[in-house]
Amino acid sequence: MRCSSLEEVRELLASIRSLVSVDKDSIPSFTRGGLGVLDEFKDCFIDVVVGGLLGEAEKWIHETQHGVEQLVKALSLTGFTYPREFRSFVENPRHHLRKKIFNYVYDLARGRLGFEEFVRKAGAALRTSIRTNMRTAYQIWGLTQIMRILAEEGYYLAYPEHGFISFDRSGKQRLGIIPPNAVLGRIDEGFISIFHEAPRPLGWEDTGDLQRVWSLYTALRPDAMIYTGMVLNIVDLSRSPPIKRPTIILEFKELEDWYNRVRDLKGYFRKPLTAEEWRSMWLEGLFQGLADIMGVKRSEVRERVEEARSLRVREYQLVKLYKTVYNPEEMILITRSKTPSDVREELENHGIIVYDDVGFDSTRLRRVAEEIRRHASFNGAREVTLRLPLPLAKKLQRVMKKLGASSLEEMIEKLGSLINT
C-alpha cells in the first residue's frame, strides 16, 4: 500500500495546497505537476480507508469474471453486459474509486471542505462503493455458476434469442414490463425464467397510482427471482405487490457478519402516504409483514412511518420480510460464510432454505441448481427450440431428403411408421 495513516494523507494535502491557487469564484487551478499530486492524494486516501478490502475485491472480480467466462462457453453466448457501475469497477477498481471521491477532493482542494469532513464523507463514499460492488460480484458469480450447472445438465438459452445476457436492468422497464435476464430451457423438462434484481420502477407515465406505490418496492428487491416456465413479464396489476408470485427467491449474502448488519427502512417511504394508500390491502399486508419480523404491533410500524422515524431491521429479518411480502413457493438463502446456528434455525423455522459456507466453491451450488431444475415446466411456452451441432443438422437434412420428408414433423411421422411396421 502507498499509505497507511491519515497523517500521511494530511501531509499530502499540504503539498496539494502549495500547488493550487483559488480565484474569487472558488475555482482552483493547479501548477504543473499538481494534478499528479492530486491522483497521488486520492490513492493514498483509498489505501488508508479501503486498502485491505481492495485486494480482496480484486480476487472476487477474478472469480466473477471466470464464472462469466464459464457461462459464456457453457451456453455458447454471443456476449454479456455487467451493470454500468460494476463494469467500471471491474475494468479498474482503483480508478473507479478515484472517481467516487473526485468531487470531495476538489472541494477539499479549494477549501470548501475541512479535512475531518472530507475524511467522513469521502470515506463513506469509498466504503459504500467497494461493498456494493463486492456484493454485486458475489451475486453475479452465484447466478452464473447456477446457470452453468444447468447448462451442463442440458439446458440452453431460450431467451434472449440473440444469445446476449445482460446483468444490467437499466432501461429494461421503459415499456411498462419487467422482462427476464435469461430463460433457460431443456427439451424434455421445460423452462426456467431468471430475473436478477427485480422488480424495478416501471415506465408507466399515465398510471399515477402505480408510480406512487412502486417506489416502496424498489427497495424490497431480492437478489434473484426464479419462475417456472417461460415468463417474459412479471408485472401483474391484479396482485399485491403488483408482480406475479415467484416460484423461488434467491438471496445472496457475501459478508461474514451479514446477519448482524442493520438496514434502515425509513428511506423506503420516500414521501407521505395518503389515506387511500393506507387503505390498500397490499400496503397493510406489507406493514403486517414488517410488524411480524420486528416483533412489534402493526400500529407501531405505521406510527414510525408517519413520524418519519427509523424502521431498523437486521439483514436476516429482511430476508424473512422478502418471503412474507412476495410469498414464493421456496425461499433460498446462499451465504459465502458460515451462518450461526441460531440465525439459521430462525430462518429455517420461517420456511427459508439455507445454504451457507459456500465461499466461491461452485460445487456447493449444485443442490441449489437441482432445486431450481425441479421447478422447470412448459408453462407459457409455445415452442421448444432444438439446437444441434452443424454436422448433425446436415445429417438430419440428408435423412429427411432420403425419406422424402419436407419438414421435421413429417420425417418423425415417417420414422415412426417404419419403426411400427
Residue 380 near residue 392 (C-beta atoms within 8 A): no
Query: Could you tell me the three cell numbers for 421?
Result: 411396421
Tens digit of pLDDT at every position of the chain (421 positions): 578 899 999 988 887 777 776 666 667 676 666 667 788 899 999 999 999 899 999 999 999 999 999 999 999 999 999 999 999 999 999 999 999 999 998 888 878 889 999 999 999 999 999 999 999 999 999 999 999 999 999 999 999 989 999 998 766 655 668 899 999 999 999 999 999 987 765 544 444 544 444 444 444 789 999 999 999 999 887 776 778 999 999 999 999 999 999 877 655 544 444 444 444 544 556 666 666 655 556 666 566 555 555 567 889 998 998 998 899 999 999 999 999 999 999 999 999 999 999 999 999 999 999 999 999 999 998 877 777 778 888 888 888 888 888 888 888 888 888 777 6
Residue 358 near residue 334 (C-beta atoms within 8 A): yes
Integer Cα distance of 66 and 141 in angstroms:
9
Full-model pTM: 0.83
Which residues lie below 8 Å from residue 279, measured CB to CB, with a gap of 6+? none
Domain ranges of the chain: 1-149, 390-420
Integer Cα distance of 287 and 75 in angstroms:
42
Query: At 167, which amino acid appears?
Result: F
Q: How many CB atoms lie within 10 A of CB 137?
A: 25
Rounded to the nearest angstrom, the gap between the alpha carbon of residue 48 and the centroid of all alpha carbons in its chain is: 28
Which residues, in sequence order, are bridge partners of residue 366?
A: none
